[in-house]
A = this chain, B = another copy of it.
Amino acid sequence: MTPTSPSTHWTLAARAAKMNPSVIREILKVTERPGIISFAGGLPSGKTFPVAEFAAACTKVLHDDPTGALQYAASEGYAPLRAMVAQHLSQQAAAAGQVWHVDPAQVLITTGSQQGLDLVAKVLIDAGSKVLVESPTYLGAVMAFMPMEPEVLSVASDSEGIDIADLRSKGRDARFLYVLPNFQNPTGRTMSEAGRCALSAAAAELGLPLIEDNPYGDLWFDEAPAASLTARNPDGGIYLGSFSKVLAPGLRMGFLVAPKAMYPKLLQAKQAADLHSPGFNQRLIYEVMQGGFLDRHVPTIRALYKTQRDAMLLALQHHFPEAQTQPDQSLTWNTPAGGMFLWARLPAGMNAVDLLPHAVDKGVAFVPGAPFYADHADTRSMRLSFVTPSVEEIQRGVAALAAAIREHRP
């Protein structure tokens, strides 16, 4: 009766038809040739992973309560870890001069802070919803938002913060503004105290929720950044944090802090997404952090990354002495006050995507900046990571980059 069909009809969801491989992952594949010095990766330095502490934690967790650690668990997360996160954030806000009482009941443990973005998207984005991002912004956030089919618009932003006039013109009917105020990925820039005050006031005035992502905030070089936006108006935002940059990314542990009115929806989305994050990993993180470990450990990461940032700045100054006097004829760059990335800009008339294969031929890789823009991309921009290569490699890599630019400058 029914004609037999030779093959299965897979009908893709509209969102899936639009999904594309991460541009950056594709670029990174090209740059993974042996011998290439990579400023392209976004990986923390493996030297900073507290291996011995994790090993001790594995032994302790599997000795003290193996069944609890290996069994199904609450979607909210491991209660002692949630309490520790709440206390840590409250103390950090106090140190920055802000009162923020984080209740452990507001903390949701996530499978990396990337999952926090997925949950936020599910709970706050309808197809066609307007969502605002910085210019440029973290590409992984846009990729997490896209499955919910928003219209993503960028708000003009610079080293001080968000352009408030542009925000006012776009923010009225937006679902939220996504911001990464500390040592941003990709630019390495940090929002100033004045920029935070202005943004916080404007967001409150517009009634615009802020999604604040803070994976790099602890990695400051000279002084801690100003208090978080969420600490200034806890009911006005969702805060995303991560253990990936201060402990290790391979455990995929992050968290979010949400206003009590929003928490139940995020929790339900979490439950549907993966039931709960690995309880074993949550206990490992908790055990390693016991007794103030981060207070001893994070300064060593800061010192290492600062040395490497300094090496990159020095090499750039050496190879591009014209940056000060003829900026449009030179590579120019910023001076990140923390984090993992530096943002650079090619001489006028050059394009970072076009330069990349030539740079790889010279033995160095970077990530072109264009994919980080939701719109109006600056095609001269590029992201340089200073945390993975050694100081000596940074010197050789910058020399190779300079050679590639010299040879291909129009």
Q: Are A272 and B147 in contact (CB under 8 A)?
A: yes
Residues of B with C-beta under 8 A to A273: 114-115, 118, 144, 273
Assuming the contacts A112-B274, A143-B271, A271-B22, asked whether A122 and B70 have C-beta atoms less than 8 A apart, the reply is no
Q: Are B10 and A262 in contact (CB under 8 A)?
A: yes
Q: Are A16 and B122 in contact (CB under 8 A)?
A: yes
Q: Are B249 and A70 in contact (CB under 8 A)?
A: yes
Q: In the complex, which of the residues A15, A19, A43, A203 has the most CB atoms of chain B within 10 Å of its own CB atom?
A: A19
Q: Are A274 and B252 in contact (CB under 8 A)?
A: yes
Oligomeric state, in copies: 2
Q: In the complex, how many angstroms separate the beta carbon of A365 from the nearest chain B beta carbon?
A: 16
A101 interface hit (Cβ, 8 Å): no
Interface residues of A in 277-323 (CB under 8 A from B): 277-281
Q: Are B2 and A168 in contact (CB under 8 A)?
A: yes
A251 interface hit (Cβ, 8 Å): yes
CA distance A337 to B358 in the complex (A): 63
A399 interface hit (Cβ, 8 Å): no
Residues of A within 8 A of B (CB): 2, 4-5, 7-16, 19-22, 25, 42-44, 46, 49, 51, 54-55, 58-59, 62, 66-67, 69-73, 110-112, 114-115, 118, 122-127, 129, 140, 143-144, 146-148, 168, 175, 203-209, 233, 235-237, 244, 248-252, 259, 261-262, 264-265, 268-269, 271-281
Known: A13-B123, A70-B251, A251-B281. 5 other contacts (CB 8 A): A4-B204, A49-B71, A54-B66, A55-B59, A146-B272
Q: List 10 A-B contacts (CB under 8 A).
A: A4-B205, A9-B207, A10-B261, A19-B272, A49-B66, A49-B67, A70-B248, A71-B249, A252-B275, A252-B278
